[in-house]
Structure 1
Amino acid sequence: MLPETIFRSSALEPADRFGTWRDIMTETHAPMDLRSEHEAEFWVNQRNIALGDVTVYPLECFPLTFRRTPKLISKSDPEAFHISLVKRGTGMLRLGKETLVHGAFDYHTSDTSRSFELSSGPDPFEIIGVEIPKAALPMPPRAAAKVIGRRISARTGIGSLLATFLTQVTEESSTYQEGDGARLSTVLADLVASLFAGVLDADRSLPPETHRRTSLLRIKSFIHNNSDSSELDVAAIAAAHHISVSYLHRLFQQEGKGMTVAGFLLEQRLTRARQDLSDPLRQDVPVHAIAARRGFSHAAAFSRAFKNAYGIPPTDFRRQVIPPTGTPCALPLHPSAPVAPTAASRPAIREG
């Protein structure tokens, strides 16, 4: 499990909630002046997930105002960039003479070395925040600083890819090993740098390795979202990303995990087909129809691939996981079975 701390205001007396959380924010992020009209009945839920030097924190909170002043900067500056995915609510950022309003599925950015004031809207808000040291970002800090305060969307392109990554990490943090933190922080830094470079139209400022890793993430996301199409194959994937088939193969080979393009596509299809076969609500859907629904053109090819992956034919698998009563039962998987990116369950979050 990734190192994680949790703060729930409900665990404290109302009079202690705002002040305690304000102190925690100052210690874990940077000294800030926090104010709220709801201090007397303040409510906040926050998790801090450590990915090496990078911190990711899901946060939902009553309305408030963050201020980072010259005095606070002189007191302490962790030399970090902050980026938040706004999931719910609105915010208004004052950065010098500029004012920018953020809404849901926008990114808010700030720099611990610059003064700013960020006020949320009148309703509770929800974000996924990221604190990333400037030294950890694979692009020149002066270039990255030019992005601060600009409007950035999380709905398309790298912005959407970053939003998917942040959502997955925060929702499935308990499924990762502590040693995964360094790898995840590298992926996150690459995505943030690519997002910033796209805003600046300055992709050339990024190292080649950052380009490669970001391209692979984008391609994997595309395959995951489109694997149900029977027309999707290696050539179609390459064409959709305006690259050659040989370069596509090379991207996967350079990852060094033994996964091929075709293998990754097959894994996505099999994982979804297995979920369908395990669903009591679909027990009357023929196996061949499920195969077609998940991108397999031939039922026989699906049966062979399923048995190779799970060690049992799909019909027998369904019979064992969905008994006549319609109540699913557990079935051990074949050691080579692919694992769905979002299949692992999470334990209940403790109060604290």
Structure 2
Amino acid sequence: MLRESVFRTMDLPPRDRFDAWAQRMGSTHAPMRLSTPRTEDYRGHQRVIELGEVVVWPATMDPLTFHRTAKLVRQSDPETYHLSLLLKGEGAAVWDRRQAVYRINDFHTNSSSRSWDVTTGADPVTIVGVEIPRALVPVPGHRVDRVLGGLISGREGSGALLAQFLRQLIGDTGPYRPSDAPRLGTVVADLVTVAFAHAVDADPSVPPETRSRSLVLHIKDHVRRHLADPDLTPARIAAAHHISRSYLYRLFQSEGVGIAAYIRDQRLAGAHRDLADPALRALPVNAVAARWGFLRAAEFTRAFRTAYGLAPSELREQALTADEDGQGAKAGAGAGDRAAVGGTPKP
């Protein structure tokens, strides 16, 4: 079996999870500045498989924005290319003046030597990351620069070959010996080289619909990070992104939900999570509502009941009852285990 390490934020106290994940991401690829709307209980899972100089790391993570700034590049540059194969979710990147949107089976590409921003969608994402030294990719750097920050399809051609190999590799590392790792790394490097060489001959222009989709994802990230602000309005959102309100409305029409409805739904989802969390049982319902931007208790209750079919207090009561029942079951199981260890098992 290949040597690999596993990291789970759920193994840590909730308050430490996001900082630990940020540190893990920085050490896996390159130092980055990360932001998320879920800093208090961040969920992420990563495997790191070392293949000689090449590293492959499948991961699933909560919504996240990665910032690789020019200052961070100057401070530390491992001189690597990075590719991420998106298996679940969606994301968008800003690279210089270019934008790209990623969907399932697309590869995102970047370099540790350049600054960029990458934002995932509203739901958790699952990716297969690849870190490869630039020296192992014999394609001239000035040519690779033409496609970095863009996407490579994992559904056809050389990109599909790379995607298929990565899926097979992470699916079962059991058949391989540790001594196979450098040879497997060479295979990854060759497939990446072929994919880059093919991509540099493609048209680098970005269709208008791609720019629009990228902007929507960045607006959604902005909304999620400012849900507690009661003054989060379409006018303020449009101003923050240097667009008109009418254009903002048109963007979200294509999403099938208005911008105001999107804000409301995200706030209600956050309140639902808090009310269902036994660790927050001491926080009054009106305080939960306020922390998600609802300043009027009656308005919050009406919206919550419409969305979930029950009042906020009823959801909390159900969650607490389920938690108490679960704790009781665990205690009973523990007593049975202790009896078995101490002597004759009870029938």
- Please indicate the TM-score interval, normalised by the length of the shorter structure: 0.5 to 0.7
- Provide the secondary structure at the position in 2 that maps to 1:41: coil
Does 2:93 match 1:93? yes
Structure-2-length-normalised TM-score: 0.57
Q: Give the TM-score, by structure 1 length.
A: 0.56
Paired position in structure 2 for 1:197? 197
Q: AA paired with 2:153?
A: S
Q: Report the CA distance between 1:54 and its aligned residue.
A: 0.6
Partner Cα separation in structure 2 for residue 64 and residue 197 of structure 1: 30
Deviation sequence 1:14-55 (CA, Å, 0-9, x none): 111111121122223210001110111110010010000110
Counterpart residue identity of residue 65, structure 1 = T
Partner of residue 63, structure 1: 63
Aligned equivalent of 1:144 = 144
Structure 1 unaligned residues grouped into runs of 5+: 203-352
* In 1: Cα distance, 2:200 partner to 2:143 partner: 8
Structure 1 residue ranges (4+ consecutive) displaced by more than 6 angstroms after TM superposition: none
Distance 1:14 1:151 in 2: 34
Letter in 2 for 1:55: V
Q: How many residues align?
A: 202
Query: Can you list the C-alpha shifts for 1:144-171, whole angstroms capped at 9, x where unaligned?
Result: 2222022321111111111110011111
Classify the secondary structure of the residue corresponding to 1:117.
Answer: strand
Q: In the alignment, what sits opposite 2:127?
A: 127
**What SS does the corresponding residue of 1:126 show, helix, strand or coil?**
strand
Is 1:180–2:180 an aligned residue pair? yes
SS at match of 1:110: strand
SS in 2 for 1:114: coil
Letter in 1 for 2:91: G
1:24 paired to 2:62: no
Residues 29 and 82 in structure 2, CA contact (< 8 A), matched pair in contact too: no
Contact 2:99 2:150 survives alignment (8 Å): no
Give 3-state SS (helix, strand or coil) of 1:176's partner: coil
Letter in 2 for 1:32: M
Deviations 1:79-138 (A, max 9, x none): 000001001111110111222111111110111111100000111111000000001113
1:235-314 aligned within 5 A: none
Q: Is the 8 A contact 1:2 1:173 kept in 2?
A: yes
Give yes or no for contact 1:73–1:112 (8 Å, CA) kept in 2: yes
Question: What is the correspondence of 1:307-326 to structure 2 with a 5 Å cutoff?
Answer: none
Cα RMSD between the aligned structures?
A: 1.3
* C-alpha distance in 2 between matches for 1:30 and 1:140: 22
**For the residues of structure 2 that align with 1:112 and 1:138, how far apart are their CA atoms?**
17
The 5-angstrom pairing of residues 308-347 of structure 1 reads none
Per the alignment, in what secondary structure is the counterpart of residue 167 of structure 1?
Answer: helix
Residue 135 of structure 1 aligns with an amino acid whose one-letter code is A
Alpha-carbon separation, structure 2, partners of 1:184 and 1:48 = 14
Question: What is aligned with 1:301?
Answer: none
Partner of 2:169: 169
Match of 2:258 in 1: none
How far the C-alpha of 1:197 sits from its partner, in A, is: 0.8
Cα separation, 2, equivalents of 1:96 and 1:143: 16
Distance 2:28 2:129 in 1: 12
Deviation for aligned residue 1:143: 2.3
Name the SS of the counterpart of 1:146 in structure 2: coil
Q: Distance in 2 between matches of 1:118 and 1:91?
A: 7
Please state if 1:107 is matched with 2:124: no
Q: Which runs of 5+ in 2 are unaligned?
A: 203-347
Match for residue 249 of structure 1? none
Look up the SS of the partner of 2:23 in the other structure. Answer: helix
Q: CA deviation at 1:200?
A: 1.8
Amino acid at match of 1:183: R
- 1:116 lines up with 2:116 in the alignment: yes
Deviation, 1:188, is 0.5
| Distance across 2 between alignment mates of 1:125 and 1:71 | 27
Tell me the equivalent position of 1:8. Answer: 8
Q: Distance in 2 between matches of 1:168 and 1:133?
A: 22
SS at match of 1:122: coil
Between the two proteins, what is the percent identity of the paired residues?
44
Q: CA deviation at 1:70?
A: 0.6
